[in-house]
């Protein structure tokens, strides 16, 4: 793949986009970051070849710049809210696009429509309860508590809350409605610790399962569940999924007409069955391509960068080399912090130097104030870690956790959960 001289615009400016920009530059692509934020609020601008301080929701203005500056494509990466503008600008300017406005509306921007699509193809989903801001008595009477309440267009865990009573349900529903969420989902609470994520690559309309992992939450000092802690690859449930549910999923993805894209599915394992509740027609935040590149020589990031500037994917062996049954054990390790201001960070360079750490992404720095919650906003580091056996991986994770020392203004450790060997090994075995 020769991409020298191609020019690519990125709308995002986060740490995830930084990874993509670094890789694009390695491939010879000239990179541009376009958003309305200054460099200090958009770290990707600091490393890009060009930076446009423009609001990309002004699609006509962005289209003019694209034509004037001979841009070959747009890469949207990881943010659902960017997708409608991406699709409109690509459509108006004849640029490659990994989906249509209708596909994005169903598969990335509306959980309710996604579940309706699943119903058409026999893909099992989490039960939903009809509800509106009027709180009709007959709707409330159907509830079986606890229930989960969340915005249909939310991502990153924002706005998602378990409600154990009618009062709690009404309070959270009203709060979301007041904040502008007019499309709110109320669904069955799945009492399962087995949350599964599946990542697909679609090349020339053929879908391939690239990776599958299980997600485990951290445990706070008071014993309550905290933000995501580990994503463990490969999931031991992959064979069961492929034997039972995947044929329906493949018919669904073919039926909606995807051609060249990446897609993720998120759901739960309940006994010997699966129920799904969310999807995304975009790069997955877990960046599973870090592992697939290492093990199989295939990177969804490389594929989508190439597609963004050429309109095609040249990797003809995708179906042969894609293999979600990894030969080693890998994790995304999310280090989340409790509420407080970061005063000092120790051990960062030592962790980066560990051979088992394939990638480390940073999201906060000393001086930042952390407001703890269940979303990804409290994550300071996201690490991709790989080792040969479960025992070796658990030992490596314990070493990382205790090499880091992240202190608040009172000199106290801020990690929500500092991983130990036994806890890490338990999660790896349960995946």
Which domains occur in the chain, in start order?
7-97 (3.40.50.20), 127-188 (3.30.1490.20), 195-430 (3.30.470.20)
Neighbours of 200 (CB within 10 A): 25
Q: 151 with 183: CB under 8 angstroms?
A: yes
CB 332 within 8 A of CB 227: no
In a 13 Å sphere around the CA of 414, the CA atoms on its Cβ side amount to 31
Give the residue carrying structure tokens 């031991």: 236
Identify the pLDDT of residue 41: 82
Give the whole-angstrom CA distance, residue 239 versus residue 244. 9
Query: Which residue has tokens 């201001």?
Result: 341
**Residue 50, token pair as written in the block:** 């060009």
Beta carbons of 79 and 85 less than 8 angstroms apart: no
Give 172's contacts (C-beta < 8 A, 6+ positions apart). Answer: 149, 161, 163
Residue 28 near residue 50 (C-beta atoms within 8 A) = no
By CB neighbour count within 10 A (0-12 exposed, 13-18 middle, 19+ buried), where does 243 fall?
Answer: exposed
pLDDT digits (tens, 9 = 90+) for 75-94: 988 888 899 999 999 999 99
Q: Which own/partner contact pairs does 48-53 have at CB distance under 8 Å and 24+ positions apart?
A: 48/10, 48/21, 49/25, 52/9
User: What is the C-alpha separation between 431 and 429, in angstroms, rounded?
Assistant: 6
**Positions in the chain short of pLDDT 70:** 154-157, 315-320, 374-375
- Burial of residue 422 (number of CB atoms within 10 Å: 0-12, 13-18, 19+): exposed
DSSP-derived secondary structure letter, 145: S
Whole-number pLDDT of residue 56: 92
Q: How is 284-332 classified by DSSP, letter by letter? A: -TT-THHHHHHHHS--HHHHHHHHHHHSS---TTHHHH--SS-SSEEEE
Closest to 308 measured CA to CA, from 104, 101, 95: 95
Per-residue pLDDT at 43: 83
C-alpha 265, offset from chain centre: 10
Q: Which two structure tokens, joined as six digits, stand for 335? A: 């280090």
Note the pLDDT of residue 78: 87
Cis peptide bond upstream of 146, omega within 30: yes
Token pair listed for 384: 């991709």
For residue 130, CA distances in Å to 15, 158, 425 come to 38, 21, 41
C-alpha distance from residue 156 to each of 202, 234, 377, 392 (Å)? 23, 22, 8, 30
Rounded to whole angstroms, the Cα distance separating 315 from 319 reads 9
């Amino acid at each position: 793949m020769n991409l020298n001289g191609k020019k690519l615009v990125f709308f995002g400016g986060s740490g995830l986009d930084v990874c993509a920009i670094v890789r694009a530059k390695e491939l010879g692509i000239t990179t541009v970051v376009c958003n309305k934020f200054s460099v200090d609020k958009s770290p990707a601008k600091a490393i890009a070849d060009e930076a446009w301080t423009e609001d990309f929701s002004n699609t006509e203005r962005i289209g003019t710049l694209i034509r004037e500056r001979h841009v070959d494509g747009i890469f949207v990466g990881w943010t659902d809210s960017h997708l409608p503008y991406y699709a409109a600008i690509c459509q108006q300017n004849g640029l490659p696009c990994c989906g249509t406005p209708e596909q994005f509306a169903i598969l990335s921007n509306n959980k309710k429509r996604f579940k309706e699509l699943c119903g058409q193809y026999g893909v099992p989903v989490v039960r939903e309860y009809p509800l509106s801001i009027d709180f009709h008595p007959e709707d409330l009477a159907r509830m079986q508590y606890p229930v989960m309440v969340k915005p249909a267009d939310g991502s990153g865990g924002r706005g998602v809350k378990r409600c154990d009573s009618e009062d709690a349900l009404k309070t959270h529903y009203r709060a979301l409605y007041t904040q502008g969420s007019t499309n709110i989902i109320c669904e069955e609470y799945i009492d399962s610790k087995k949350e599964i994520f599946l990542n697909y690559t679609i090349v020339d309309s053929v879908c391939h399962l690239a990776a599958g992992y299980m997600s485990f939450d951290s445990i706070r000092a008071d014993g309550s569940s905290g933000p995501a802690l580990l994503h463990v690859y490969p999931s031991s449930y992959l064979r069961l999924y492929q034997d039972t549910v995947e044929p329906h999923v493949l018919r669904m993805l073919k039926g909606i007409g995807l051609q060249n894209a990446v897609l993720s599915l998120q759901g739960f394992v309940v006994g010997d069955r699966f129920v799904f509740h969310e999807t995304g027609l975009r790069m997955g935040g877990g960046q599973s391509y870090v592992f697939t590149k290492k093990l199989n020589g295939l990177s969804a990031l490389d594929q989508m960068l190439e597609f963004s500037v050429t309109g095609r994917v040249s990797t003809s062996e995708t179906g042969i080399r894609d293999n979600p049954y990894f030969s080693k054990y890998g994790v995304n390790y999310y280090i989340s912090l409790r509420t407080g201001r970061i005063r000092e960070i120790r051990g960062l360079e030592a962790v980066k130097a560990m051979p088992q750490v394939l990638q480390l992404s940073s999201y906060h720095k000393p001086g930042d104030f952390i407001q703890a919650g269940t979303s990804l906003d409290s994550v300071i580091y996201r690490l991709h870690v790989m080792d040969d056996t479960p025992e070796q991986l658990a030992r490596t994770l314990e070493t990382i956790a205790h090499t880091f020392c992240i202190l608040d203004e009172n000199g106290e450790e801020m990690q929500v959960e500092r991983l130990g060997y036994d806890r890490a090994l338990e999660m790896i075995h349960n995946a």
